[in-house]
Amino acid sequence: MSALNQLILDGQSLTAEKLNKAAHNRTSFSITPEAREQMLVARSLVNDAVDKQIPVYGVTTGLGAKVTEVLDADALSDFSYQTIRGRAHAVGHPEDKAVVRAAMIVRLNTLLPGAAAASIAVADHLLACLNADLTPVAGQQASIGAGDLVWNATMAQALIGEGLMQDAAGNIDSAQNILQAAEISVPALGPKDGLLLSNNFSYSIGLSALALQAAHIALDATQAAAALTMEGFRANLLPFDEQVLALKPQPGQNEAVKQLLLLLAGSKLFEPGQARRLQDPLSIRNIAQIHGTVYAALDFANQAVNIELNSTCDNPVALIELQKLVSAGVLYSPHLTNVIETVSRSFVHLCVTQLARISKMLSPRFTDLPLFLAKPQSHSNGFAPLMKTAESLLAELLHEAQPVPIWPSINADGVEDSMTATPTAARALLKISEHSRYLSAIELLVAQRAVELRHVTDQLGDNMKKIYHQVKQLSLDNDDDHSLTADIELIANSIQQGEFTVVT
């Protein structure tokens, strides 16, 4: 049995990579003592506002359009529960377990700096549910990105024992039964507790972080597929010379080339006279610029997500040094939508070019290999029919990469009059990454056949030999004219598991 993953949360050092690992794997979580102390200090501001009847949004007043309503003492005791129950309206297909766990982890981590003014009891309840691998069930459709209010309330309803929940074994039952079986008691909610569980940005942040990690994995596979294509094509490596790249030092291209050259290390392609052509097609010659664009977009997006993972995403917020609770706009982040969509658009260039490479590899005019890479004397169309599958994947990808619609929101009688649609953008990137993995699986199959037909296996470096044999092993039948569905699915699954991650 593998060792249990450990993650210490402090509100400062969570990254998208750490979150992705913890969201997909059973993990032991803990909170630092310093974070607990910070939360205690901030929580005293809530208690003081209640005692002194200071107007604070969602604490001593109503929500949304009812912000002008002052809550009396009797209403305060029930308002946290009312906040959750009255907004738990998510519908549709249940969100993936890893996404829900990511939202829970983000919500817990963003409580720790103290600005959310959370009670220790709520933080410890989230911690207990995560450690017991208990996951609320919530439909995917609810959030427009402005606070994730309705989706978070649906998750929160399960956390307080009133919704549906999934246990560590995957069984779904009432949250009350699941929590009782795990011997986890639901804490009594105090002022602001219902609001901080519902009105935050943790779903958008968690979903975006997972989408970025999926995009990284997809890019690694595209790099591996492109390198194997270069071997099968016998590409000219001069466009990847550092002096050539220095002529236009755009961000990302050096990282793309660095990884490609590591993949190709030891190849005969580095020797003079190995390139077949003076100038290769753009889909090969400009890999540095095209793949570099994706690296740059991911770097930009990662910076934004890592800031969100360790920042406050609440309203109102506690300013501890000023001893005040104030209304704020930090649960609203159009920047996150923009950077996610930038990554999605960069994949358009990546995958259109990938389709071009695949088509070139099937053309004797470009490769000097048999038409459609069919084996000699086979009377087969080889990989030609596979182009329809590839173009179908690209069509879906192009559709997903369209900008999400943004319009003036009409919520809360016009008080909440804007939106970001971040979850829509993040889900689109997850689908784009999936389509990209399938395209890379197809390119890997095609490139592996080209290397085989060209009889240059012994001219590959160690890394490319490993990838070549990995693809060959995952291809169930090397004969022509057999269904490639299982082959593609196996390779795409291996990509998703990180087995084609670029060497470092």
For 187-235, give the secondary structure using H, E and C. CCCCCCHHHHHHCECHHHHHHHHHHHHHHHHHHHHHHHHHHHHHHHHCC
Whole-number Å distance between alpha carbons of 173 and 74: 33
Residues 6 or more apart in contact with residue 2 via CB below 8 angstroms: none
Q: Where are the beta strands (DSSP E) in 114-162?
A: 135-136, 139-141
Query: What gap in Å lies between CA 86 and CA 98, rounded to an integer?
Result: 26
Q: Which two tokens stand for residue 426?
A: 């993040």
Is the peptide bond preceding residue 316 cis, with omega within 30 degrees of 0? yes
Other C-beta atoms lying within 10 Å of the C-beta of residue 26: 11
Within 84-207, strands assigned E span 91-94, 135-136, 139-141, 164-166, 172-174
Rounded Cα–Cα distance for residues 349 and 282 (Å) = 12
pLDDT of residue 78: 85
Cβ-Cβ contacts under 8 Å for 61 (sequence gap 6 or more): 55, 67, 68, 69, 70, 71
**Strand ordering across the sheet containing 164-166:** 135-136, 164-166, 172-174
Closest CA relative to residue 203, chosen from 396, 398, 425: 425
Domains of the chain are 5-200 (1.10.275.10), 208-315+330-496 (1.20.200.10)
Give which of 162, 110, 163, 171 is closest to 138, Cα–Cα.
163
Which residue positions in the chain have pLDDT lower than 70?
1-2, 62-74, 76-77, 477-480, 502-504
Backbone angles phi, psi at 424, to 5 degrees: -65, -45
Q: What angle do CA 183, 187, 191 make, to 5 degrees?
A: 170
Contacts for 408 with CB less than 8 Å, ≥ 6 apart: 417, 418
Query: Smallest Cα–Cα separation from 291: which of 243, 338, 259, 267?
Result: 259
- In our burial notation (b when 16+ CB lie closer than 10 A, e otherwise), range 322-342 reads eeebeebebbbbeebbbbbbb
